[in-house]
Chain A
């Protein structure tokens, strides 16, 4: 009996193990098949698909990832590895039977769409329009010499998903997929793209500068997003601001009639004292970061031909990332590119030229001439003389790398006007006079350094005429300074330290001494100091100067401290009050007031005692 039970148990256990193994295999095969990576047969089938609406393949539309997520732990490791990236692909609404694919007429694109739920497309005609638009965009890029976006898909086509993006207030998004390295493009990645399913929501039709038709929104989105896909194919480690600047410039190149791209320029011209490569943050349209910078590409294209933009991406394709998964800064790439043949100029010269163009205009493209936002001065003077003691705003400015500022002088009955500028080596200046709508550049006075005399300033019409001073930092170094006056006053300026630019933020490194003292960059006390640096010190010129000086001096000190335990302890003790003050400024203020009150009380008491003794 015992033997029987033992055998029964063994048999049951073996059956269970075998069954589970078998089931696992079936499940694996099922998911591999559904995601089109199962067998060579499936692959051959996909490649042989006709270039037409493929309603016969409903199950191959958008894969059911919910099921995959649910059953993930039941899959074998090799299957998980194969299917991991599928989890990142979008899921359309509806069931498998409502999801379809359409292959574009050129065969380059596979469009995923659904006829049910929130993502439902308005009609098959619209999906065909989307397919034709993407083909049109791809052909335009081919004719301009661009290398089309690589793909790792089984069918060899580029995949586009039509989804309802209006609730998320998105036109489209492009996501990297996997490495697609090839000769000359070692850091290329494939990608996939999502766009709105119809562009009929008012956030698109009534967007600033509108109204826009759904087709117009589709056109600029296809041009913009597919160029991001191309950018992944050049180098995954592209600088985001330049990617946006290039994609937005392409909107203008391919569908200039839509003109939505002009709306982004105002953000930049209202914030000209921010760097050209200002990070694309939470208010990119407000600051003009990335998107608004497209107009600089337009300027480069006008100066050197449209090929200059593609050449910059060609150059980027050959570069390795700086390490530790960081992106490649585009400013040095542009600097190197423009200084060499056939351009033989410099980014500084082109940037200065661009900042002049902001005022003088004279864009080649007539639409630009009418729609590029007007210059915005950072200061306007009506009372003279202008100098550092009497004028507001103070006639002095510290500029980060590749940034600029305009100052306006309203005509007044003071005869001639002479503007004297003192500046550090990275600053270039220009003065313009506008009389009855005609702009002329004023040359510097002979033998007098940077001073400009506007003869007959007092006779200009205050209602229509003006004089402007342009100050541009034409280098990649922060903290270049310019100071000016109209009474000949000269304010000394100091050359900025040579600390390297990090793209305009603290973020990553720094706090060397605190890190050495506390032993870890991630120590909470070090974080307190980093936050203080990023949110307080780096927001003003004196603070930035202090940080630059600190970065110059502190590394060897920190290195010494890190090697001596007693010193680390001592530095921690010294930093404690500082950290307390940074962390609890109100408490510190309160304590100081109490201490001051106590001292005052004590002084008064001692004085009273002394007085009573005197009596």
Chain B
């Protein structure tokens, strides 16, 4: 009887784990996920303060400056999106740490497919930009300051484009 109970309990734990893992794995597609830029790359979660991006499969990415209810707008069928930031990397600090970034405000961002200019978008005041694109591989930025991203249909790819460098002392 005792062995049977142990077996039953083990089974229940395994099922609970399976369900939670399955739900966790599916989270990306059904709920909004938040990412913020840490000066080098986008990382999961909302920042203590400052702007961040909400992404969800099948929806256009949304830039938020504070926690708020996000209204979903569907991505056009067969399209994907890129959401990113164009920034000036900031390094150094003789009198204290100054690493970080400065947004490249209101700057044009070129998006190339192969050697062909696919789209030009403009960053906002905080350096953010978004674009809806066909699935495929793109180069964002003007060489040599360019990065490569892969756009998948129905999803948003995050991109951090270093468009300058600042030595701070």
Q: Which of A172, A225, A282 contacts B99 (CB 8 A)?
A: A282
Chain B minimum-CB-distance residue to A526: B44
Nearest CB on B from A290, distance (A): 7
Q: Which of B45, B107, B165 contacts A524 (CB 8 A)?
A: B45
Q: Which of B41, B99, B148, B168 contacts A281 (CB 8 A)?
A: B99
Contact yes or no, A573 B18, CB < 8 A: yes
Docked CA distance A247–B27 (Å): 49
Q: What 1/0 flags go to A221-239 for Cβ under 8 Å of B? A: 1001100100010001100
Docked CA distance A348–B42 (Å): 36
Contact yes or no, B28 A284, CB < 8 A: no
Nearest CB on A from B40, distance (A): 7
Name the B residues within 8 Å of A85 (CB-CB): 107
Residues 361-377 of A contacting B (Cβ, < 8 Å): none
Question: Known interface pairs A176-B165, A527-B43. Does A80 touch B108 (Cβ–Cβ under 8 Å)?
Answer: yes
Docked CA distance A520–B151 (Å): 12
Name the A residues within 8 Å of B24 (CB-CB): 525, 572, 576, 579
Name the B residues within 8 Å of A176 (CB-CB): 88, 164-166
Docked CA distance A69–B165 (Å): 22
Contact yes or no, A325 B97, CB < 8 A: no
Docked CA distance A80–B93 (Å): 33
Chain B minimum-CB-distance residue to A172: B169
Name the B residues within 8 Å of A284 (CB-CB): 92-94, 97
Contact yes or no, B169 A576, CB < 8 A: no
Contact yes or no, B92 A175, CB < 8 A: no
Question: Known interface pairs A207-B95, A236-B144, A236-B165. Does A80 touch B21 (Cβ–Cβ under 8 Å)?
Answer: no
Nearest CB on A from B9, distance (A): 11
Name the A residues within 8 Å of B162 (CB-CB): 325
Name the A residues within 8 Å of B144 (CB-CB): 179, 187, 236-237, 321, 325
Nearest CB on A from B99, distance (A): 6
Name the A residues within 8 Å of B33 (CB-CB): 524
Contact yes or no, B17 A173, CB < 8 A: no
Q: Does A596 contact B (CB under 8 A)?
A: no
Name the B residues within 8 Å of A517 (CB-CB): 25
Q: Does B106 contact A (CB under 8 A)?
A: yes
Docked CA distance A321–B145 (Å): 10
The number of chain B residues with a CB under 8 A from chain A is 48
Q: Does B35 contact A (CB under 8 A)?
A: yes
Q: Tell me the interface secondary structure of chain B in the complex.
A: mixed
Contact yes or no, A285 B94, CB < 8 A: yes
Contact yes or no, B169 A221, CB < 8 A: yes
Q: Does B58 contact A (CB under 8 A)?
A: no
Name the B residues within 8 Å of A459 (CB-CB): none
Name the A residues within 8 Å of B51 (CB-CB): none
Q: What 1/0 flags go to B149-169 for Cβ under 8 Å of A? A: 000000000100110111111
Q: Does B132 contact A (CB under 8 A)?
A: no
Contact yes or no, A84 B168, CB < 8 A: no
Docked CA distance A507–B168 (Å): 22
Q: Which of A171, A281, A325, A573 contacts B94 (CB 8 A)?
A: A171
Q: Does A280 contact B (CB under 8 A)?
A: yes
Question: Known interface pairs A174-B166, A325-B146. Does A72 touch B97 (Cβ–Cβ under 8 Å)?
Answer: no
Question: Known interface pairs A80-B122, A284-B93, A325-B147. Does A88 touch B165 (Cβ–Cβ under 8 Å)?
Answer: no
Q: What 1/0 flags go to A77-90 for Cβ under 8 Å of B? A: 00011001101100
Q: Does A339 contact B (CB under 8 A)?
A: no
Contact yes or no, B96 A88, CB < 8 A: no
Contact yes or no, B95 A169, CB < 8 A: yes
Name the B residues within 8 Å of A171 (CB-CB): 94-95, 169
Q: What 1/0 flags go to B77-114 for Cβ under 8 Å of A? A: 00000000000100111111111000011111000000
Q: Does A523 contact B (CB under 8 A)?
A: yes
Enumerate 12 A-B pairs (CB-CB under 8 Å) in ascending A order.
Answer: A84-B108, A88-B88, A173-B167, A175-B164, A225-B167, A236-B145, A240-B91, A285-B93, A517-B25, A528-B44, A575-B21, A576-B20
